[in-house]
Amino acid sequence: MPESVADSPLSPYHQAAGARMIPFAGWNLPVHFSGLLEEHRATRQAAGLFDISHMGQIRAQGPGTLACLEGLLANDPAKLKDGEGHYSFLLNERGGVIDDLFIYRMGLEDFFLVVNASRHREVLNLLKTKESPLVRFAGSPGSAVGMALQGPKAATILAKLLPAGTALPQRNRILRAKFDGGDALVAATGYTGEEGFEIFTDLQAGPKFWNRLLETGKPDGLLPCGLGARDSLRLEAGLPLNGQDLSGDITPVEAGMGFFVDVTRPRQFPGRPVLETQKKNGPPRVTIGLVGEAGQAPARHGYPVFLHGKRIGEITSGLPSPSLGYGIALALVDAPAPALEQPVEFEVRGRRVPAKVSKRKFLQGR
Amino acid sequence: MNTPEDLRYAKSHEWVRMEKDQATVGVTDHAQTELNDVVFVDLPKPGKKVNAGEVIATVESVKAASDIYAPVGGEVIEANSALTSDPGLINREPYGNGWLFRIKPLSPVTDHLLSAGQYAATLKK
């Protein structure tokens, strides 16, 4: 049965602001407001506000929570201190990615997970099979609001809305904050390569925070941003997207994210044997960055990649970079990885177009 | 949405200005709005022969690449080179300096194309 498309709790405000809405992972979300390029630029130079209510917010609580999550996640949640978060994966038995996620430790045996919209139900259902009197998982789609405030002015704008003297979280940390009109979790995380915050709250307070943030940030150049800019910003920062750069057939090591898989601890977790082997002997495929030339067609998802005329893999994500003015792409290719600066080609509309191997983080110093 | 009366239109959102020996082609105001900021164009070379309805060019925004179909068949005589350095012309002047290419049509008949009113009606669905 096809899943129906749900409106974000913030949709009425997006529509009133003239956003162009598109269906995405079962949600009706803004693809852009004023325009992708303008929103991208605002986030790099001032600040952007993104509706991330579609992202799954899952709370895990009970005296057996840590033990349960240790046996499920690829990065070790036992490393987290109260108020700390890290990037992690839920893997299948082949070491492929079911979902990439962020997990925060809120307190002793109390964790908060943020998962992709497209995998929310699947992840929640999987977690529910591990429920016991010792651990409970809560957080269905549509039950919460999330927004990401990103960019060099994000801290200045957020501070104006919090009671005077409230400390902002440090990078990858989360804290409970009291706004005028409600409570929220504020994490110093994001998906743009900029400094910024993700704010998680309930259905009542969400719209209030969204509108007050937009209003408060306006003099600083804050713009509401859509999924279009979210994608171009994350790719410039070299951050993977599940469903493109990650999938059930791609391991974190192949995606270049092996750092977030901990095989030094004794505890077993799904996919561990595969990841251990790949970390020791190297993976069969590797994810590389590719940069094109200005005035050439940009590489896009699915385009084949060639080295010395031989097909070595394909583009997983690619677009014309608004900040750089040429095409950037991630490509999954056969190991060994071609060296940095190595000329390669990709095929677009039956033509071979030149590109060069680059770092995956396309914007330096971010 | 602006749809000038003196042009003919294809359902796939291209416009055509028929002059005596040439047909100038671009994308409609509606199309440029849907595309959002155009950042790259792939245009046909002069001399290329094309049938009506075939893919002849590609217009890319940051988000996606969109095919452009030839509204009339014939031979390409010119591509708009100004778009190479300033593809945003398509957004700013879709019916003017944002034109894409010119074709020497095989036939002056454009009965298969829509009038401004007919095209505008297809957008209201």
pLDDT tens digits for range A255-293: 999 999 999 999 999 999 999 999 999 999 999 999 999
How many domains does one find in chain A?
2
The CA distance from A250 to A242, in Å, is: 10
Q: How far is B59 from chain A (nearest CA, A)?
A: 10
| Token code pair at residue A347 | 């095929």
Predicted pLDDT of residue A185: 97
Mean pLDDT within A315-335:
97
Residue of chain A whose alpha carbon sits nearest to that of B84: A295
Query: Would residue A125 count as lying in a domain?
Result: no
Question: Do the Cβ atoms of A320 and B40 come within 8 Å?
Answer: yes
**Residues A296 and A228 occupy one common structural domain:** no
Q: What is the mean pLDDT of chain A?
A: 96
Residue of chain B whose alpha carbon sits nearest to that of A299: B65
User: Taking the model in full, what pTM does it have?
Assistant: 0.95
**Residues A168 and A24 occupy one common structural domain:** yes
Q: How far is A300 from chain B (nearest CA, A)?
A: 8
The CA distance from B14 to B30, in Å, is: 10
**In 10 A of CB A309, how many CB atoms?**
7
Annotated domain spans of chain B: 8-104
The CA distance from A176 to A156, in Å, is: 18
Predicted pLDDT of residue A1: 38
Asked: is B8-104 a CATH 2.40.50.100 domain? The reply is yes
Predicted pLDDT of residue A205: 95
User: pLDDT-based confidence at A366, cuts 50/70/90?
Assistant: low
**Residues A148 and A288 occupy one common structural domain:** no
Query: Would residue A69 count as lying in a domain?
Result: no
At residue A219, the 3 state secondary structure works out as helix
Instruction: Catalogue the E-assigned strands of chain B.
Output: 8-9, 14-18, 23-27, 38-42, 49-50, 55-61, 65-69, 74-79, 101-105
| Owning domain of residue A361 | 284-366
Is A262 exposed, middle or buried (CB count within 10 Å of its CB: 0-12, 13-18, 19+)? buried
**B84 at interface of A, judged by CB pairs closer than 8 A:** yes
**Residues A148 and A222 occupy one common structural domain:** yes
**Residues A188 and A312 occupy one common structural domain:** no
**B2 at interface of A, judged by CB pairs closer than 8 A:** no
Mean pLDDT within A59-79:
98
Is A277 exposed, middle or buried (CB count within 10 Å of its CB: 0-12, 13-18, 19+)? middle
**Residues A213 and A333 occupy one common structural domain:** no
**CB-defined contacts A:B, below 8 A:** 40
Mean pLDDT within A28-55:
97
Q: How far is B38 from chain A (nearest CA, A)?
A: 10
Q: Which of A36, A231, A300 sits opposite B65 (nearest CB)?
A: A300
Question: Do the Cβ atoms of B40 and A32 come within 8 Å?
Answer: no
Q: Which of B37, B60, B65 sits opposite A37 (nearest CB)?
A: B37
**B60 at interface of A, judged by CB pairs closer than 8 A:** yes
**Residues A226 and A300 occupy one common structural domain:** no
Amino acid letter, residue A286: V
Predicted pLDDT of residue B97: 98
Could you say which residues of chain B have pLDDT below 70?
125
Percent of chain A clearing pLDDT 90 (strictly above): 94
Helix and strand tally (H, E) in chain A? 8, 20
Direct distance between the N- and C-terminal alpha carbons of chain A, in angstroms, rounded to an integer: 43
**Residues A172 and A35 occupy one common structural domain:** yes
Query: Would residue A329 count as lying in a domain?
Result: yes
**In 10 A of CB B46, how many CB atoms?**
13
Predicted pLDDT of residue B125: 66
Kindly list the residues from chain A whose CB atom is less than 8 angstroms away from the CB atom of residue B30: none
Predicted pLDDT of residue A123: 98
**Residues A294 and A227 occupy one common structural domain:** no
Examine the fold and report which residue of A204, A220, A236 is the final residue of a domain before the chain moves on: A236
Q: Which of A31, A320, A349 sits opposite B42 (nearest CB)?
A: A349
Question: Do the Cβ atoms of A231 and B63 come within 8 Å?
Answer: yes
Question: Do the Cβ atoms of B39 and A297 come within 8 Å?
Answer: no
**What are the Cα distances from residue A269, in Å, to A35, A255, B72?**
43, 19, 61
Kindly list the residues from chain B whose CB atom is less than 8 angstroms away from the CB atom of residue A31: 63
**B47 at interface of A, judged by CB pairs closer than 8 A:** no
Helix and strand tally (H, E) in chain B? 4, 9
Kindly list the residues from chain B whose CB atom is less than 8 angstroms away from the CB atom of residue A37: 37, 39, 62
**Residues A288 and A226 occupy one common structural domain:** no
* CATH number of the CATH domain containing A164: 3.30.1360.120
Predicted pLDDT of residue A166: 87
**Residues A294 and A212 occupy one common structural domain:** no
Query: Would residue A189 count as lying in a domain?
Result: yes
pLDDT tens sequence across A145-190: 999 999 999 999 999 999 888 899 999 999 999 887 789 999 999 9
**B92 at interface of A, judged by CB pairs closer than 8 A:** no
pLDDT tens sequence across A82-130: 999 999 999 999 999 999 999 999 999 999 999 999 999 999 999 999 9
**B51 at interface of A, judged by CB pairs closer than 8 A:** no
Q: How far is A211 from chain B (nearest CA, A)?
A: 25
Kindly list the residues from chain B whose CB atom is less than 8 angstroms away from the CB atom of residue A232: 62-63
Listed in sequence order, the DSSP H helices in chain A are 11-16, 36-45, 65-70, 120-128, 154-161, 205-217, 227-236, 272-281
* CATH number of the CATH domain containing A331: 2.40.30.110
**B1 at interface of A, judged by CB pairs closer than 8 A:** no
Query: Would residue A232 count as lying in a domain?
Result: yes
Residue of chain A whose alpha carbon sits nearest to that of B41: A297
pLDDT tens sequence across A1-34: 345 789 999 999 999 999 999 999 899 999 999 9
Of B4, B62, B51, give the one whose Cα is nearest residue B28: B4
Query: Would residue A93 count as lying in a domain?
Result: no
Question: Do the Cβ atoms of B60 and A40 come within 8 Å?
Answer: no
CB hemisphere CA count around A148 (13 angstroms): 25
**Residues A224 and A165 occupy one common structural domain:** yes
